[in-house]
A and B are shown apart, each in its own frame.
Chain A
Amino acid sequence: QKEVEQNSGPLSVPEGAIASLNCTYSDRGSQSFFWYRQYSGKSPELIMSIYSNGDKEDGRFTAQLNKASQYVSLLIRDSQPSDSATYLCAGHSGGYQKVTFGIGTKLQVIP
């Protein structure tokens, strides 16, 4: 069982809608969480990091963390076709622990 779980999708949303991507984790020691975006055939790039319970907003992106429920989400407002990609959720327990990635959720934004 992977320590970070994501639905592989695809998740299809119309252009302009809110896309909601979800992730759960099993390691209660995880302290920091990340969302990476990966276009097909390209390398992952960091779009959001979150360390505390609650919401963190950056432009059209909002990351949400609920440590009690061991749940992380990413909301993308006003979704654009250019947001179509695979979104990887990752968790880290700090110190010398490794980062653990989920399998990624494929998002398709339909024009």
Chain B
Amino acid sequence: DADVTQTPRNRITKTGKRIMLECSQTKGHDRMYWYRQDPGLGLRLIYYSFDVKDINKGEISDGYSVSRQAQAKFSLSLESAIPNQTALYFCATQPPSTDTQYFGPGTRLTVL
């Protein structure tokens, strides 16, 4: 079984809809991250969490919110989706003892 899973893997939605992307991990890592990836812009950090009670904004948090329901689960919400949020979204985890991040398979989101 995959250590970091993301659901859904693909999603097409319309402008103004609320969308939730979910991330689960079985690695037992405290640190979790949400990134989006756009051609030419690379990976950009949306939100990150170092434990259940510690959530921080990244460089592009506007229009997004997150919830850390448990150590293993970190969800990303788009309250009112807009077309420029069309992107590939990755969740990542990181153990406290290293700087290495482990990525989920990604969610391709299209906002029409």
* Residues of chain A whose beta carbon lies under 8 Å from any beta carbon of chain B: 2, 8, 32, 34, 41-46, 49, 88, 92, 94, 96, 98-99, 101-104
Q: Would you give the shortest CB distance from B50 to chain A, in whole angstroms?
A: 7
Other-chain residue from B40, B42, B94, B104 in contact with A101 (beta carbon distance below 8 A): B42
A92 and B99 form a contact (CB under 8 A): yes
A46 and B100 form a contact (CB under 8 A): yes
B106 and A42 form a contact (CB under 8 A): yes
In the complex where A46-B100, A96-B50 touch, is A103 in contact with B42 (Cβ < 8 A)?
yes
A8 and B99 form a contact (CB under 8 A): no
* Residues of chain B whose beta carbon lies under 8 Å from any beta carbon of chain A: 33, 35, 40-43, 45, 48, 50, 58, 90, 94, 99-106
Q: Would you give the shortest CB distance from B110 to chain A, in whole angstroms?
A: 14
Contacts of A42 in B (CB 8 A): 105-106
Other-chain residue from B41, B48, B99, B103 in contact with A44 (beta carbon distance below 8 A): B103
In the complex where A43-B90, A96-B50, A98-B58 touch, is A88 in contact with B42 (Cβ < 8 A)?
yes
With A and B bound together, what is the CA distance between A102 and B100 in angstroms? 15
A8 and B40 form a contact (CB under 8 A): yes
- List the count of A-B residue pairs having beta carbons below 8 Å apart: 42
A103 and B100 form a contact (CB under 8 A): no
A102 and B99 form a contact (CB under 8 A): no
Other-chain residue from A49, A101, A104 in contact with B99 (beta carbon distance below 8 A): A49
In the complex where A42-B105, A43-B106 touch, is A88 in contact with B99 (Cβ < 8 A)?
no
With A and B bound together, what is the CA distance between A7 and B41 in angstroms? 12
Contacts of B45 in A (CB 8 A): 98
A88 and B43 form a contact (CB under 8 A): yes
Q: Would you give the shortest CB distance from A26 to chain B, in whole angstroms?
A: 15
Q: Known pairs A88-B42, A92-B99. 18 more at Cβ < 8 A?
A: A8-B40, A34-B100, A42-B105, A43-B90, A43-B103, A43-B104, A43-B105, A44-B90, A45-B103, A46-B101, A46-B102, A94-B99, A98-B45, A98-B58, A99-B99, A99-B101, A101-B42, A104-B42
